[in-house]
């Protein structure tokens, strides 16, 4: 090879290296939160992405994009250009429940890149303290004797809710029949429970719900999630009693096709961000257990749970069809 040939080879190698591994990021990153500002998910996510942005050297800008129980924000992520400048929040519903419903335009996770999980929800079953049940065992015995007398407040449709996945399993295991009342959110669910319009609230925990527990207005009968509230660990969970839990993820995802050099930087940034003191403090105060899973572990979790959730939703929808 002559001098000219060697020079061309070196020039091509330099150009190839520059194209393959460009600097990232060089501008702010958009992060879609598919819920209104001020909610628990929003409050906990903001310090996480702020910490990740500091690590990356560019701000990550949160944009609240609510609608269709989170589906609008999910689609904004899926349809974005895969350059690393659009990310978003995905949870157990958007990843594991929505794809199995007729209304969802994506039927699997192939349109997304899963990046990291950073926390989990706590799902308590709350009843008024003046209700006739002091324990979960008391309630189950009552429910068996009074089929369809329990009005259970849930957020999201029966076949479009992570809570419904475990409640359906509960009905089959304990041979009880529950009536579901679909409410708009945790706040409406709490109001309906406190007002006696529903028998029990089945929703994600937030500080306002916890304040009613501490004031003695509401009682935790059981947890649907494996995760429990510190100081209330003696109360049983569905995992303790039955061995099942709801889809429970709070994760960062992006569109399909993110380049490897982008993923490497994002892996590093979010692994660093979950250790940030401000994020941990906010998550603890809001009662969201910090739970980190990197890309490989998160993908494995979703891959394993996806068909299980699908089977349950199929049976749930079949039952809903018969009821109509």
Q: How many CB atoms are located within 10 Å of the residue 16 CB?
A: 10
Two structure tokens written together for 236: 């049983």
All CATH 3.40.190.10 domain ranges of the chain, comma separated, are 124-245
126: three-class secondary structure by DSSP? strand
| Separation between Cα atoms, residue 148 and residue 111, nearest integer Å | 40
Tell me the C-alpha distance between 96 and 310, whole Å.
8
Q: What is the pTM of this model?
A: 0.89
Gap between the Cα atoms of 63 and 33, Å rounded: 6
* Distance (Å, whole) CA 49 – CA 190: 29
**Residues forming a β-bridge with 89:** 252
Contact 69, 154 (CB under 8 A): no
pLDDT at 93: 93
In the block, residue with structure tokens 């349950």: 312
Q: In the chain, how long is the greatest CA-to-CA distance?
A: 92
Measure the N-to-C terminal CA separation of the chain; round to a whole number of Å. Answer: 78
What confidence score (pLDDT) does residue 17 get?
46
Q: What is the pLDDT of residue 18?
A: 47
Note whether 85 and 30 are within 8 A (CB): yes
Query: Could you tell me which of 249, 246, 161, 142 has the C-alpha nearest to residue 199?
Result: 142
Delimit the CATH 3.40.190.150 region(s) of the chain. 25-120+249-315
pLDDT of the residue at 8:
54
Q: Does domain 124-245 have CATH number 3.40.190.10?
A: yes
Cβ neighbours of residue 72 under 8 Å, at least 6 residues apart? 34, 65, 66
Collect the ranges in the chain with pLDDT lower than 70.
Answer: 1-21, 321-324
How far is 143 from 178, CA to CA, in rounded Å? Answer: 8
219 contacts 54 by C-beta, under 8 angstroms: no
Q: Which residues contact 15 (CB under 8 A, 6 or more apart)?
A: none
CB 209 within 8 A of CB 121: no
Q: Regarding the domain delimited by 25-120+249-315, which CATH topology (the fold level of the hierarchy) does it fall under?
A: D-Maltodextrin-Binding Protein; domain 2 (3.40.190)
- 33 near 45, Cβ under 8 Å? yes
- Please tell me whether residue 302 adopts helix, strand or coil conformation: helix
* Cβ(210)–Cβ(219) below 8 Å: no
Comparing CA positions, the residue from 252, 310, 205, 296 lying closest to residue 73 is 252
């Amino acid at each position: 090879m002559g001098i000219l040939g060697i020079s061309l080879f070196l020039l091509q190698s330099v150009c190839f290296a520059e194209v393959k591994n460009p600097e990232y990021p060089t501008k702010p990153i958009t992060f879609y939160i598919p819920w209104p500002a001020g909610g628990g998910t929003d409050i906990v996510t903001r310090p996480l992405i702020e910490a990740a942005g500091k690590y990356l050297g560019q701000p990550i800008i949160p944009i609240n994009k609510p609608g269709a129980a989170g589906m609008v924000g999910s689609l904004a992520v899926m349809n974005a250009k895969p350059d690393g400048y659009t990310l978003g929040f995905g949870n157990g519903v958007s990843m594991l429940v929505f794809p199995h419903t007729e209304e969802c335009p994506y039927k699997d996770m192939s349109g997304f890149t899963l990046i990291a999980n950073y926390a989990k929800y706590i799902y308590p079953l709350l009843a008024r303290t003046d209700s006739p049940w002091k324990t979960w065992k008391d309630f189950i015995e009552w429910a068996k004797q009074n089929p369809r007398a329990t009005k259970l407040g849930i957020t999201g449709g029966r076949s479009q809710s992570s809570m419904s996945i475990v409640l359906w399993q509960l009905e089959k295991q304990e041979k009880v029949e529950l009536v579901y009342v679909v409410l708009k959110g945790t706040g409406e669910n709490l109001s309906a429970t406190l007002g006696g319009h529903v028998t029990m609230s089945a929703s994600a925990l937030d500080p306002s719900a916890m304040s009613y527990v501490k004031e003695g207005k509401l009682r935790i009968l059981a947890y649907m999630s494996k995760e429990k509230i510190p100081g209330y660990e003696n109360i049983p969970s569905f995992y303790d009693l039955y061995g099942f839990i709801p889809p429970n993820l709070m994760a960062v995802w992006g569109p399909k096709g993110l380049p490897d050099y982008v993923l490497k930087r994002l892996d590093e940034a979010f692994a660093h961000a979950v250790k940030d003191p401000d994020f941990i403090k906010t998550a603890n105060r809001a009662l969201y257990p910090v739970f980190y899973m990197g890309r490989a572990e998160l993908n494995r979790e979703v891959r394993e749970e996806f068909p299980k959730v699908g089977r349950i939703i199929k049976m749930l929808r079949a039952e809903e069809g018969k009821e109509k």
